[in-house]
Amino acid sequence: MIFNTFIYYIAFLLPSATLYRLMPRRFAPWVIVLFGSGFFVYFAWQMAGLWGAACLFIFLWESIVSRLYRPGSRWCFFGIVQSLVLLGIYKYWNFFTDHLFFHHQNPIHWRGQFLPLGISFFTFEFFHYAWDRRAAKTEAGSLGEYLAFILFFPTMVAGPIKRYQDFLPKLRAECVNWSNDWERGFSRILTGLVKKFAIADLMTAWTDHLNMRDIAIAHRWALPLWLLAYGVKIYADFSGYSDIAIGSAKLFGIAVPENFDWPYGRRNIQRFWQCWHISLTRWLTDYVFIPLGGSRVATWRIYFNVIAVMFISGLWHGAGVNFIVWGLLHGVMLAVHRAWRTFKPAPSLDPLVVFLSRVSTFVLVSAAWSFFCMDIHTALFFWRRLIGG
């Protein structure tokens, strides 16, 4: 975890946030660009050496191309395509080519593959900017402002996924009320660190058992406990990242989107996704679900759109069959819930029904985590052990 290192706070966050607030507004974005570039280069270098650091040119190339975007321009379409190609090559090349040469040696397997730091998040922001510029939903901004948007390092690694039209006014606003922003920012950072160290890391002792060998020799009663521990861990870990990112942004006087709103305990799967990874859910709604027709098409198409969105969500989370299965499971659950609501549009207010709805949603979400945290063969073996003994 990058956010739990002293280097992040001492070398990047505190000096950049302080300098950003002291600078005149026209120069402030370049403070973010300078430290954001250094952040990416330093941590990418730590992960993959010179090749990792060289991936900074991805941002420079994208920034040059972004200056050509105009409402209705073909350059916007080019930007959309290059974002998807960039993500596909780096993250999914081996996954798809290995399946293309199934049962045969893959002659085009990318050995020594390196995944650029935060690529799943910043390519979605590239995509969003090109799409919204084409639809005239956002202004171009200056080069420095755009670079500050994509190199804003608190959100680069694990989100939340920002929108340019929301980020730009905050970037241009005068920085006032240091004490309030820094008090709230450090409080949020501390909350994230507590989630990470006191909860997520504690659960690791249980979740490390979710492997083929330990599952084979474990008592059956231990298996659901390990899976529940993983559900707690991933929530504390991921929401902890988001808390640190939101708190870090607050030191700059910049508000970024909330990402979690107590998703566990929601009464149905739709409400779960409205409260889990909120920025991703909204991104998929605006840039996948609605362009596919949203809810304005035939009923069967609505169900297809829902499942397609969750298929993409699963694939976005990881290049593996297990992630695709996880996404499809959630897609089917969302489609079933939508179908149920057509027959029973008004939710029951009976306390017992509400309680059972919350419990059943939590159980289904927890069960689906098995395909998220284990490869497909281990996950299927897990369920054979749990159900069949």
Per-residue pLDDT tens digits for 301-353? 999 999 999 999 999 999 899 999 999 999 999 999 999 988 877 777 788 98
pLDDT at 205: 87
pLDDT at 18: 95
Burial readout 37-74 (b: 16 or more C-beta within 10 A, e: otherwise)? bbbbbbbbeeebeeebbebbebbeebbebbeebeeeee
What average pLDDT does the chain have? 91
pLDDT by residue (tens digit) across 117-168? Answer: 889 999 999 999 999 999 999 999 999 999 999 999 999 988 899 999 999 9
pLDDT by residue (tens digit) across 223-280? Answer: 999 999 999 999 999 999 999 999 999 999 999 999 999 999 899 999 999 999 999 9
Measured CA angle at 1 (ends 31, 252), to 5 deg: 25
Exposure of 283 in the CB half-sphere (CA atoms within 13 A): 27
Q: For residue 367, what pLDDT band results from cuts at 50, 70 and 90?
A: very high
Measured CA angle at 36 (ends 32, 38), to 5 deg: 125
Q: In the chain, what is the straight-line distance between the N-terminal and C-terminal CA atoms, in Å?
A: 37
Three-state DSSP class for residue 257:
coil
**Eight-class DSSP state of 59:** H
Judged on CB neighbours under 10 Å (0-12, 13-18, 19+), 270 is middle
pLDDT over threshold 90, residue 98:
no
Query: Which H/E stretch holds residue 355?
Result: helix 351-368
For the chain, the domains span 2-179, 190-388
Phi/psi of residue 76, nearest 5 degrees? -65, -40
pLDDT at 111: 61
Burial readout 311-346 (b: 16 or more C-beta within 10 A, e: otherwise)? bbbbbbbbbbbbbbbbbbbbbbbbbebbeeeeeeee
- Beta-carbon contacts of 248 under 8 Å, excluding residues fewer than 6 positions away, are 3, 13, 17, 154, 185, 189
